[in-house]
Each structure stands twice: as C-alpha cells, then as structure tokens.
Structure 1
Amino acid sequence: MLDKKITYTEILKLIEDLLASDGIDTKVDEEMQLIGGDSVLDSMKLVELCITLEDKASDIGFEFDWTSDTAMSKSRSMFRTAGTLIEEFINQSTAK
C-alpha cells in the first residue's frame, strides 16, 4: 500500500520538475489546476505526466489508467487538480 503523504510529495515534485523543464518556476500544490483556463500545463506536458505516472505505477505493480471515460469527463475528471490526480493514482494502486 502506498504511503499517501509520500505519494503526494513525489507526484507534486514530478509536476514541478515537468514545469521547470519548460522554464516555468512555480510552487505546485494540491489545488493547482491541470486542465482548463488556469492550467499551466499544456496538453503535451499533461500526456508526459501521465506516461511518467504509468511508469511509476508499473514499478509499484499496478496499471495506471488515465484514458478512461471518467478521466476524460470535464466535471469528474481526475485531471481537475493535482490533488484529484494524486487521489486517483492512489485509488487505482489500492484496487490492483
């Protein structure tokens, strides 16, 4: 089972590093929007993040599904905020 606090810290850092690779220096927290008008991630960075999370999930021993209908629904999407994405990652890890 994943340690929730460590997982939050690791994934927030991962998002920060992705942004930094584009020259965007910002503090990432759980409330940061990942999609929509206030998002600082472009679509390519969001896909890169998801692929990185797939790799992380594989290392842990589960398959991270970021392409489901729920993921793509704007109102229920796991991509609303960094926190909702991390929660979905943790939920999928415990459902393995």
Structure 2
Amino acid sequence: ILNWMFMGTLVMQLYTYYQNYPSDQIAVRILVYTLFILDFAQTIMLTHHGWWWIVTSWGTPQVFSVLVWSAAMIPFMGGLIAGIVQIFYAL
C-alpha cells in the first residue's frame, strides 16, 4: 500500500515535469519517462509478489521453498533504476 502511495506521488511529479519543462533536451525527457516506466514495472512486481505471498500461498508451508519470478526481479529492477540515476548524475 505504501509503495502505491509513493507511486501516486511519482505520477504527480511526472505530470508537473511534463507541464513545466517541455523544452528539456530529448535525452533527459526520455530518461525521465524510462525511469517512470521502470519504477511502475517494479511496483507491479512488488504487488504481484505480495499478492502471491499473502493471498495465493496462504496456508501453504511449501511457500518458503519457492521463489516466484517477481521476487527474483525486484532486486534487479532496483539496481537497474539506481544505476541509471547514478550514471546520469555522474555524467
């Protein structure tokens, strides 16, 4: 729930960026929209993993020995997003 609340904040920030900075370089705009899409995808994966863990696998002890695909992708997506941002600021 907290992640979706932050996603709402991010959507408002993206809208504000779109309204106030239409003359930014195309590379910066592509970077901003790409990062938004990646962050949205990560939120979907977090939601999927939470639903799978809490609802789908409720009462199943074998859940602790299974790694669902979204759980494996969450750290990768976090690292990818952080890496892109750090490379942008390093340049």
Q: If each structure's helix is expressed as a fraction of its own residues, which one has the higher value? A: 2
Same fold (TM over 0.5): no
Which structure has the larger Rg? Answer: 2
TM-score by length of 1: 0.30
